[in-house]
Amino acid sequence: MKRIRNVVLFYNSKRRKALTYAAAIERRLRAAGAKVCRVCVNDEYCDFKTADAAVAVGGDGTVLYAARHVTAKGIPVLGINAGGLGFLSGVEKKEFLGSVDEFLAGRFHRIKRSLLSVSVRRGKRNLFGPLPAMNDCVIRSPESRAFTLLASYGGKFLAEYFGDGLIVSTPSGSTAYSLAASGPIVMPQLEVVLLSPICPHTLTHRPIVLPASGDLRVAVKNGRYGPQAVTLSMDGQENFRLEPGDEVVIRRHPRCFEMLAPQSFSYFDILRRKLSWGER
């Protein structure tokens, strides 16, 4: 990786810790000779030209926001945890401040993470997307009523889901909402998608892992008691109101998200530290 001279710094202005961390990180980067462009994830517009790398200071939501805005430009992102779980963070603040020179010299790992490309079709019209999702896209209803989804994969009927909704996630998202719905943990480098039903009204539906090479299509069926509100949510940040008959088309995004991390980074260590994985 070439030397990093220009950095775009994403931060969450609604978290006091993130503001404090971002200020300290910006000072350290500028002192080391880097140019820094600040982007607040709470502003209405995300406006920056380009950069050699991005630093996202906040929780996982800040990293997801950065991923959505830099993927098309091929900019790698280093997440620095200033939130709660911080599962998508590559480093903690104290560790980063001590390794800024190594970071700017381009000696951090580039770890590729697959993305979803999500769109919505109504009849023959494309109404939404395609937009990237790093963690997941979730189809669910804000109403306290179960509803039916019809899923097909690779042109073949897959299943009819009756319940509170469906989570379609990447391997990165396997430790997010999908995990809470009893989905499996999947290594990030695998090229797969996960389907995790939300509170299915049957004992026979279980999460399933599919190759990322095929198209997944999920259609909203009319409710038993007439139309009801159904929402598509991508990474919890982009939302679209669905109607009966709408079809959500999910496929592998042509680009990957590149995450930066120190040479010592270990996914298994993250599982143990963040999720207490393997502990008795």
**Is 226 a residue whose pLDDT tops 60?**
no
Number of domains in the chain: 2
Q: Are residues 120 and 248 in the same domain?
A: yes
The Cα 143–Cα 241 span in angstroms is 13
- Which whole number is the average pLDDT over 157-173? 94
What domain range is 144 assigned to? 116-252
Res 142: pLDDT: 83
Is there a single domain that holds both residue 59 and residue 147? no
Question: In this structure, what CATH number is given to the domain that contains residue 270?
Answer: 3.40.50.10330
- On whether residue 280 sits in a domain, the answer given is no
Active site residue 60: yes
- 51 and 100 co-located in one domain: yes
Same domain, 76 and 201: no
Q: Indicate whether 13 pLDDT > 90.
A: no
Assess whether 123 and 245 both reside in one domain.
yes
Residue 1 lies in a domain: no
Q: Are residues 15 and 88 in the same domain?
A: yes
Coil, strand or helix: which one is 17?
A: helix
Same domain, 81 and 45: yes
The CATH number given to whatever domain includes residue 134 is 2.60.200.30
Q: Is the pLDDT of residue 97 over 60?
A: yes
Same domain (yes/no): 28, 71: yes
- CB-based contact 216:168 (threshold 8 Å): yes
Which of 43, 47, 60, 215 is flagged as catalytic? 60
Q: Are residues 187 and 135 in the same domain?
A: yes
Scan for tokens 């950065």, then name that residue: 66
Q: Are residues 65 and 190 in the same domain?
A: no
**Largest Cα–Cα distance of the chain, in whole Å?**
63
Mean pLDDT of 107-115: 91
Q: Classify 53 as helix, strand or coil.
A: strand
Q: What is the pLDDT of residues 231-279, one digit of tens each?
A: 999 999 899 999 999 999 999 999 999 999 888 888 888 888 888 887 7
Q: 106: pLDDT confidence band, cut at 50, 70 and 90?
A: confident
pLDDT over 70 (residue 33): yes
Edge-to-edge strands, sheet with 53-58? 35-40, 6-11, 53-58, 77-81, 257-261, 109-113
Cα separation, 57 vs 18, in Å, equals: 6
The whole model's pTM is what? 0.89
